[in-house]
Amino acid sequence: MFKLSSVRARLISYYLLSVALLVGVSVYALIQMLALDRLTESLDRRWIVGTRVLGEMADLLSETRLAETRLALAMDQQTTDKAVADADGFLTSLGYQRAAYGLLHKTEEEQRLLATFDSAWDNWVAQHRAWLALPPDQRLATSPAFQSGAEALYQSADDAIDALGDVNAAGAAAAGARADHIVDTSGTIFGIVVFFALLLASWVTWIIHSSISQPLASITKALSELAAGNRGIVIPQVGRHDEIGSMAAAFEVFRNNAVKLEESQALAEALARYDTLTGLANRRVLAEELEKALSRVDRGEAPFAVLLIDLDRFKPVNDIHGHSAGDLVLGEITARLRAVVRKHDTLARIGGDEFAIICDLADEGRDSTSMPIALAERIIAAVAAPVAIGTRMVEVGASIGIALCPADGVNAEALLRAADIAMYRAKQAGRGRFRFYEESMDTELKAKAAMEADVQRGLAASEIEPHYQALIELSGGRLLGFEILARWRHPEKGLVAPDLFIPVIERLGLMTEFTLTMLRRACLDAKEWPADLKLSLNVSPHELTDVLFPVRLLAVLAEKDFKPSRLEIEITENALVADLATAKTILQALQNAGIKIALDDFGTGYSSLYHLRELKLDKIKIDRSFIKSMKDNAESTKIVNGILGLAKSLALPATAEGIDDADILLRLSDAGCEIGQGNYFGKPMPATDASKIARQPRGKGKLRVVA
Ligand code: C2E
Ligand code: CA
Ligand code: CA
């Protein structure tokens, strides 16, 4: 169904109106035609036939008169007979015609005239018959008398016929006038109808134009404006409650959507080009600007430098103070960078705490380094100033790598890589520095990549194996257990120390797997060792962020049927600062299973009392650097004594590592250090050697553990 207000309904009503009008006109025309037809019929039947019959009668009358004359003048019998027969025939025919006319015409006037005719005619017929009955000679003699008598009758009958003729003529004239009238009024009415039909047609056309065509045209015009980009255009006809209104409303929705789409496109474009946090150009814009700078170099116009800035110590800001503090710091650093970078140089943020600058060297003449050096120094100084976060102050730094175009590369990728390598070297050199790219750096980087590949291969080939260094009870010289220390039995390089490959494994993200592999192998090696001998496993910071680590470690112990109480793990303090809560949970889980926790390298890191107490650690291991330097450094001895005092007050046993002579051993023992480890007792050794020592009878006073 359709709504009454719809365009369809309107068109249908116009159509119905037109049809009704047409039907009306047709019916009227039909009625008029029927009337005309009836008139014509009556004309035919009455007046025309009547007139014809009257003419016939007048003719017959004359013929009869002529036959009577011929009879009177007849000289022989034959002519006489012929004239008598003719006259008889004419009179009979006249009788028929008279009867026929009587059937057609019945008006009073006609009846009267017919009566006149009938009496004249009857008399005449009577006289005619009487005259005929006379003998021929008498007939001639009486002819003039008869003729004159008949003449009057003839005149009377003829007059009656004439009068009837007039009646017929008048009737025909009246019918004709009526027909004329019908035709005239029909014409007039038809004209009026045509006039109104034209009026209606014009009205309908005008209505269709004003309510349909014109609104459609205005919408079309608005649409073409919209297509041409005029988003402010008002779509007409929106308020209408019909299809055109719906269409206009749909176009309005379309217009609004287009506007929204364009706005969000613009926003997306901005987002795609600018960093939301700092408002700086992003990596994409940097790439575009680099291409432009490169094409200028191509045309021999101007060399330029790419500076890659990486913030130092930014991660701890995020970790300790939270991400919103990190964001504040980035905002402040951005403002400082903006202040030192020239307006026409490009400054972009290309990573969390990484920025890049394209530094134009057009005005630098031959010396292409002085400008980047000055800029780098200004940046380092600006970034190094403390940043306030609320009431607290944090300090970050900037390490900068610089690549020159065209000297260090002629495409974006090569330049960014060169700057990145230089930046990495600046970090390695101690942070807060800048470095220009040098080709040798790349060589080292390639060596690093080769090392990573080699470590992966070595791990897959199980070339890295646990070695064992004895842990000795200093008071009695008894063997307590072994620290597991990894060694890489390299097919070409021989035995490789862990300092060279542990960081690589860490970088490759394979640390947890590696630690568990070491433990698995150590459990196997220690299977036949006395049950009181302990194993001490080094665990790196990464594992203390992995909440599944305890489960996996305990699974290995269960698999190898190795009692958790025989295991000790060694952690360093930098494993604790990243996420203390998680580390605490993990350590707690391990301790709950019966595993002891030792804090390794104590004295080098934070040496935090808080950590010792909060984490309920079981042991501390004094870093070997202090032990070694006790020999000729009184300060170290004081530190070691201090640490031992601290351990005592916390009731924590202490292990001294790196003991390599008897003198130091004695001093430590005197100072109350419980456990010792070092080359004096025995270097880290393969499992076979450790097994021999483990199985030797152990007694008091036996301090050296040579296999
Ligand atoms: P660490 O945990 O502090 O291990 C003690 C280091 O001191 C060992 O070096 C050991 O050989 C060395 N050492 C012991 N006594 C003496 C001595 O009298 N003189 C000298 N000069 N050195 C002595 P190593 O085996 O080279 O290990 C270095 C570091 O590598 C370890 O330091 C540890 O942090 C790490 N590491 C070794 N194996 C593993 C492992 O399996 N997993 C993890 N996560 N780290 C390991
Ligand atoms: Ca250790
Ligand atoms: Ca250590």
Write down the residue that tokens 């990243």 correspond to: 578
- Decide if 425 contacts 317 (C-beta within 8 A): no
| Distance from the alpha carbon of residue 505 to the mean position of ligand 3, in angstroms | 19
pLDDT at position 462 is: 97
- Quote the mean pLDDT of the chain: 90
C-alpha 61 to ligand 2 mean position (Å): 166
Q: Looking at residues 460-483, what average pLDDT do you find?
A: 96
Q: What is the pTM of this model?
A: 0.53
Q: For residue 485, which ligand has an atom nearest its CA?
A: 1
> Residue 484 CA: which ligand 1 atom is closest?
41
Q: What is the pLDDT of residue 239?
A: 86
Nearest C-alpha to atom 45 of ligand 1 is from which residue? 538
Looking at residues 374-384, what average pLDDT do you find? 97
7-218 is classed CATH 3.90.1150.10: no
Pocket of ligand 1 from Cβ distances under 6 Å: 469, 484-486, 497-499, 502, 515, 518, 538-540, 570, 600-601, 624, 657-660, 677-679, 684
Nearest CA to ligand 1 atom 35: 498
Q: How far, in Å, is the centroid of ligand 2 from the Cα of 483?
A: 7
Q: Is the pLDDT of residue 1 over 50?
A: no
Q: Measured in angstroms, how far is the CA atom of residue 492 from the centroid of ligand 1?
A: 22
Which residue out of 624, 630, 680 has the highest number of ligand 1 atoms within 8 Å of its CB and is therefore the one to mutate?
624
Under CATH, domain 278-437 is a member of which superfamily? Reverse transcriptase/Diguanylate cyclase domain (3.30.70.270)
DSSP at 569: E
Q: Distance from the CA of 485 to the center of ligand 1, in angstroms?
A: 6
**What pLDDT is recorded for position 12?**
86
Q: How far is the CA of 598 from the centre of ligand 1 (A)?
A: 14
Nearest CA to ligand 1 atom 33: 538
Q: Domain 462-695 is in which class?
A: alpha beta
Q: Which of 223-237, 338-352, 455-469 has the lowest mean pLDDT?
A: 223-237
d(CA 696, CA 707): 9
CA 623 / ligand 3 centre spacing (Å): 5
Looking at the predicted structure, is the pLDDT value of residue 703 above 70? Answer: no
- What mean pLDDT comes out for the span 673-692? 96
Ligand nearest to the CA of 568: 2
- Mutational test site, ligand 1, from 501, 514, 538, max ligand atoms within 8 Å of CB: 538
Question: What atom in ligand 1 is closest to the CA of residue 680?
Answer: 18
Which residue has the CA at smallest separation from atom 25 of ligand 1? 485
Q: Give residue 507 CA to ligand 1 midpoint distance, Å.
A: 19
pLDDT value at residue 360: 93
Q: What is the mean pLDDT of residues 258-271?
A: 86
Dump pLDDT digits (tens) for 309-325: 999 999 999 988 999 99
Q: Looking at residues 75-99, what average pLDDT do you find?
A: 89
Distance of CA 318 from the midpoint of ligand 2 (Å): 29
**Would you state the pLDDT for residue 701?**
52
The protein residue whose alpha carbon is closest to atom 10 in ligand 1 is: 684
Look at 252-266, 316-330, 493-507, 587-601 and tell me which has the smallest mean pLDDT.
252-266
Is residue 4's pLDDT more than 60? no
Q: What is the mean pLDDT of residues 638-650?
A: 94
Sheet holding 354-360, edge to edge: 346-351, 354-360, 304-312, 397-405, 434-436
Mean pLDDT is lowest, of 93-107, 247-261, 692-706, for: 692-706
Position in ligand 1 atom list of the atom nearest CA 540: 44
The ligand minimizing its distance to the Cα of 621 is: 3
Ligand nearest to the CA of 677: 1
Strand partners of residue 388: 393
Average pLDDT in the 285-289 region?
95
How many A from CA of 497 to the centre of ligand 1?
9
Looking at residue 621, its pLDDT comes to 96
> Rounded distance, CA 465 to CA 521, Å?
8
Q: Residue 696 pLDDT more than 90? A: no
**DSSP three-state, residue 620:** strand
Q: pLDDT tens digit string along 139-192?
A: 778 888 888 888 888 888 889 889 988 888 888 888 888 888 888 888 888 788
**Among 427, 445, 405, 287, residue whose Cα is nearest residue 353:** 427
CA atoms of 196 and 22, how far apart (whole Å)? 11
Q: Exposed, middle or buried by CB within 10 Å (0-12, 13-18, 19+), for 285?
A: middle
DSSP assignment of 521-537, as one string?
HHHHHGGGS-TT-EEEE
Q: Determine the atom of ligand 1 nearest the C-alpha atom of 572.
A: 34
Ligand nearest to the CA of residue 539, numbered in listed order: 1
Over residues 404-421, mean pLDDT: 94
Residue 658 CA to ligand 3 centre (angstroms): 8
> What is the rounded average pLDDT of the residues 285-298?
95
The pLDDT assigned to 109 comes to 87
DSSP symbol at 210: I
In ligand 1, the atom with minimum distance to the C-alpha of 570 is: 2
Distance 435 CA to ligand 2 centre (A): 34
Which residue has the CA at smallest separation from atom 13 of ligand 1?
658
How many A from CA of 453 to the centre of ligand 1? 23
- Closest residue by Cα to atom 15, ligand 1, is 678
Strand partners, 354: 310, 351
Q: Which protein residue's CA is at the shortest distance from atom 43 of ligand 1? A: 538
SS3 683: coil
The full set of domain ranges for the chain reads 7-218, 278-437, 462-695
d(CA 290, CA 696): 70
Which atom of ligand 1 is least distant from the CA of 678? 15
Q: How many angstroms separate the alpha carbon of residue 454 from the centre of ligand 1?
A: 21
Maximum Cα interatomic distance, the chain, rounded to a whole number of Å: 213
* Atom of ligand 1 lying closest to residue 623 CA: 3
Which atom of ligand 1 lies at the shortest distance from residue 677's CA? 15
Residue 281, pLDDT above cutoff 90: yes
Residue 641, class by beta-carbon neighbours within 10 Å (0-12 exposed, 13-18 middle, 19+ buried)?
middle
Mean pLDDT (whole number) for 532-543: 95
Which pLDDT belongs to residue 270?
80
Nearest CA to ligand 1 atom 21: 658
For ligand 1, atom 23, the nearest C-alpha belongs to 658
pLDDT at 165: 87
- Residues 314 and 355: their CA atoms lie apart, in Å, by 13
- pLDDT tens-place string over residues 53-84: 889 999 998 998 898 888 888 888 898 889 88
The angle formed by the CA atoms of residues 204, 207 and 210, to the nearest 5 degrees, is 150
Q: How far apart are CA 147 and CA 139, in angstroms?
A: 11
Q: How far is the CA of 483 from the centre of ligand 1 (A)?
A: 9
**Tokens representing residue 63 in the block:** 């013929």
Helix (H) or strand (E) holding 244: helix 243-273
Mutation pick for ligand 1 pocket among 455, 485, 523, 540 (CB with most ligand atoms within 8 Å): 485
Determine contact, residues 480/437, Cβ cutoff 8 Å.
no
What atom of ligand 1 comes closest to residue 485's alpha carbon?
38
**Centroid of ligand 3 to alpha carbon of 102 (angstroms):** 157
For atom 8 of ligand 1, which residue has the closest CA?
485
Choose which residue among 484, 502, 516 to substitute to test ligand 1 binding: the one with the highest number of ligand atoms within 8 A of its C-beta.
Answer: 502
Question: For 1, which DSSP code?
Answer: -
Number of Cβ atoms within 10 Å of the Cβ of 180: 10
Q: What percent of the chain has pLDDT over 90?
A: 54
- Percent of the residues in the chain that have a pLDDT greater than 70, as a whole number: 97
Ligand number nearest CA of 502 is 1
